[in-house]
Amino acid sequence: MNTVLVTGGSGFIGRNLVRELALRACRIRCLVRPTSRVRHLRKAGAELVLGDVNQPDSLAAAVRGVDTVFHLAGLVAASGAEALMQVNGEGTWNLARACASQPRPPVLVTVSSLAAAGPAAEGSLRRESDPPAPVSDYGRSKRAGELAALAWADRVPTTVVRPGIVFGPWDRLLLPMFRSIATLGIHPIPTFAPPPLSLIHVQDLVDVLVRAAERGTRLAKRESGPSVGEGYYFACSGRYVTYAELGRMIAQTLGRRHVFLLHLVEPLPWLVAGVTELFARLSRQPVIVNVDKMRESIQPSWAASPQAICEQLGFSEPCSLEQRLRQTVDWYRAHRWV
């Protein structure tokens, strides 16, 4: 891995990945949009190429001459299913096709999501070989991205990484949860039976991504027979906590002795999600509390197995979830985010 293209380098996970690649002395190129925040990318010495995953013509110059592509560009929330599908599905298709058109196609590591695989049955762990069954528009769009990459996998050596919920420095998605606990001592929970969640600290995810590029199995063009699940990796901790437990852990880390767990009774969570979604559509500003995310939060379990990343990629968690939450809180405090 010498010359690397990162899409989504201006985002939360991307900026952490770019930092790691710079430490490894890689030559980094980032696909950015005219509106992207790029100061940290320049600081890391990255070459910037203007483009958009939905503008296929802009991608040829971005992939030219690179040996590895980390594809992180995507939408985690949008004001509609079409926008999710366009960026997460079609965008991945365009990028994989651009890779395939190279005389020596690069290794493509595409960041999907546990949502693409779908939830686990209560009491069991989801494995890469389980047939995908996404339950949300977001999950379906990420699965479309996986299938788009698969379509070019006979030309492009491709690995799909499916992270659980990612947290750590620069994360703004979980930030409201930390802020609510820090300032109000309140932790809203959208259901009375919150599912166990798969989480991963961003630094651990970055480690998994690099390992996946270097030694991950690649997608087999046919997803049947003995190779089923090959080329896919769940990226998550082996420790599973519910929203309620997560809230208590964050409170403890913040030094709060008590946190009020505000269980929202049905149909209140749907009403809240519906109102915020309406606001999102009117203002054209995506919000993370929406009906689609509610569909995910009422599932029995989001526990995925980290066995493949441990056994095949040699990943092991360097510290506990509590320590990772502590580091996150320290970072938020140092940057005055909480």
Ligand X SMILES: NC(=O)c1ccc[n+]([C@@H]2O[C@H](COP(=O)([O-])OP(=O)(O)OC[C@H]3O[C@@H](n4cnc5c(N)ncnc54)[C@H](OP(=O)(O)O)[C@@H]3O)[C@@H](O)[C@H]2O)c1
User: Which residues form the interface with ligand X (CB under 6 A)?
Assistant: 7-8, 10-14, 31, 33, 35-37, 52-54, 72-76, 87, 91, 111, 113, 163, 165-166, 173
In the complex, what is the shortest distance from the CB of residue 128 to ligand X, in angstroms, rounded to a whole number?
A: 15
Residue 206 or 313: which CB sits closer to ligand X?
206
Residue 36 or 217: which CB sits closer to ligand X?
36
Burial of 123 (0-12, 13-18, 19+ CB in 10 A): exposed
Report how far residue 296's alpha carbon sits from residue 115's, in angstroms, rounded to the nearest whole number: 8
Residue 31 or 265: which CB sits closer to ligand X?
31
Q: How far is CA 280 from the centre of its chain?
A: 21
In the complex, what is the shortest distance from the CB of residue 53 to ligand X, in angstroms, rounded to a whole number?
A: 4
CB 269 within 8 A of CB 57: no
CB 102 within 8 A of CB 43: no
Q: How many helices (H) does the chain have, and how many strands (E)?
A: 14, 11
Burial of 218 (0-12, 13-18, 19+ CB in 10 A): middle
Residue 92 or 180: which CB sits closer to ligand X?
92
Query: CA 306 → CA 22, 128, 134, 164, 257, distances in Å?
Result: 27, 10, 19, 10, 32
Residue 51 or 247: which CB sits closer to ligand X?
51
In the complex, what is the shortest distance from the CB of residue 124 to ligand X, in angstroms, rounded to a whole number?
A: 21
In the complex, what is the shortest distance from the CB of residue 199 to ligand X, in angstroms, rounded to a whole number?
A: 9
In the complex, what is the shortest distance from the CB of residue 267 to ligand X, in angstroms, rounded to a whole number?
A: 26
Residue identified by tokens 């030309």 is: 155
Residue 66 or 226: which CB sits closer to ligand X?
66
Strand-pairing partners, residue 120, are 301
In the complex, what is the shortest distance from the CB of residue 32 to ligand X, in angstroms, rounded to a whole number?
A: 6
Burial of 107 (0-12, 13-18, 19+ CB in 10 A): buried
